Amino acid sequence: MQSLLTTQPGLLELSTPELQDWLRAHGEKPWRAKQLRRWILEGGAESFADMTDLSLTLRQTLAAEFTPLATRVVRHLTSEDGTHKLLLKLYDEQLIESVLIQDGERRTACISTQVGCGMGCVFCASGIGGVIRNLSTGEILEQLIRLRNSASSDPKSAIRLTHIVVMGMGEPLANLDNLLQALDLATSPDGLGLSARHVTISTVGLPAKIRRLAEHGKPYHLAVSLHAPNDTLRSKIVPTNDKTGLADILAAADEYFHKTGRQVTFEYVLLGEINDQREHAHQLAQLLRGRHAHINLIPYNEVDGLPYRRPTDAALADFQAILRDQGLSVKVRKRKGSKIDAACGQLRRVSV
């Protein structure tokens, strides 16, 4: 396969002031920065030639130094349930995966924040091989554009994203600065115009970063991946728990709720005969009782090369019933995209 490597930076890597400075230096009006961003963010333009209300000279000058989108779609898979998965190649030929989940009028982009992941959750494909690097602000933002554009053959009739879940490859809070810059533009009226309340950021639990996120002042939804009701078991499933512990993670989550007023979701991947027993459900109920929280149960999605399996239907039903009997809010996540390895825990670094 021919290399898709590009040495030109994507235009979205420049902040608005940086783009305005570039325009001034080339004899252009700084307000054209907004015009350029609108073409990419709203118009679906993937080449400067498409930006027909710009002068030919400006389009040629831009094309000599930049590319509208620096990522390249290497593979586009579509599931029977309407889920799209993109394999994207970055400027340095690293690969990431992103997913578009469609459910009625709801169109959710599941995006990555790192090439790989360093958290080491034992059931997750994203962490196989560890982490290579953080994604840039532009690389995070471009996933939203690529996913939106992928669902329509005509950029002029592209769908509108309604929700963002930062649940793809990587630990989002380990790349918090770049992520927040990307989300600020995604939720700006001059960006993609999504509601900040429709953005969910998932983390294995980095207490200091959770507190930083709370101070950011945006009403993003926080999802904490617990996967176990006690430290002994959690450290076996989520190795980074040795450095944090459930008590500190829950304390930070409580602070997040008190500062933002947003209910925290606690995610729990059920691994057959490992963390899905009745005793685990009772322990989890005890752990979360009294908190303004919601529990999202996720039956394990199979990953090639890993030895884990899904819980039985009976075990899943018992686990859910125990939590509900204790007065907790709980639901089982819908399984979408599993046939194209696009479900929770299945995104991974691949070779092409």
Specify the CATH superfamily of domain 72-340: Aldolase class I (3.20.20.70)
Is-contact 133 80, C-beta < 8 A? no
Q: In this predicted structure, what is the pLDDT of residue 329?
A: 97
d(CA 331, CA 336): 15
**Stated pTM of the model:** 0.93
> Phi and psi (nearest 5°) for 163?
-140, 155
Residue 152 confidence (pLDDT)? 73
Angle of CA points 117, 150, 132, to nearest 5°: 15
pLDDT tens-place string over residues 255-278: 999 999 999 999 999 999 999 999
Question: Please, are residues 9 and 64 in contact by the beta-carbon 8 Å criterion?
Answer: no
- CB of 169 closer than 8 Å to CB of 116: yes
Angle subtended by helix axes 313-325 and 278-288, to nearest 10: 30
Residue 149 has pLDDT above 70, yes or no: yes
Band (pLDDT 50/70/90 cuts) for residue 40 is very high
Is the pLDDT at 154 greater than 70? The verdict is no
Which amino acid, one-letter code, is at 142?
E
Q: What pLDDT is recorded for position 35?
A: 94
Which residue among 110, 121, 124, 344 is the active-site one? 344
Rounded to the nearest integer, the mean pLDDT of the chain is 92
For residue 84, give the 3-state DSSP assignment: strand
What is the CA 175 to chain-centroid distance, rounded? 12
Provide the residue ranges of all domains of the chain, joining segments of one domain with +: 11-65, 72-340
pLDDT on residue 251: 98
pLDDT band at 247 (very low <50, low <70, confident <90, very high): very high
**Residue range 11-65, CATH number:** 1.10.150.530
Q: Choose, from 28, 97, 142, 171, the residue flagged as catalytic.
A: 97
pLDDT for residue 335: 73
**What is d(CA 157, CA 8) in angstroms, rounded to the nearest whole number?**
28
Whether residue 133 is predicted with pLDDT greater than 90 in this model: the reply is yes
The answer to whether 97 is a known catalytic residue is yes
Over residues 42-51, the mean pLDDT reads 91
CA distance between the termini of the chain: 8
Q: Is the pLDDT of residue 248 over 90?
A: yes
The stretches of the chain forming alpha helices (DSSP H) are: 16-25, 32-41, 56-65, 137-150, 176-186, 207-215, 231-237, 246-260, 278-288, 313-325
Question: Could you tell me which of 128, 124, 100, 126 has the C-alpha nearest to residue 113?
Answer: 126
- Helix, strand, or coil (residue 75): strand
Res 19: pLDDT: 96
Residue 350 is predicted with a pLDDT of 59
Tell me if 118 sits within 8 A of 131, measured CB to CB. yes
Quick check: is 344 catalytic? yes
pLDDT at 337: 57
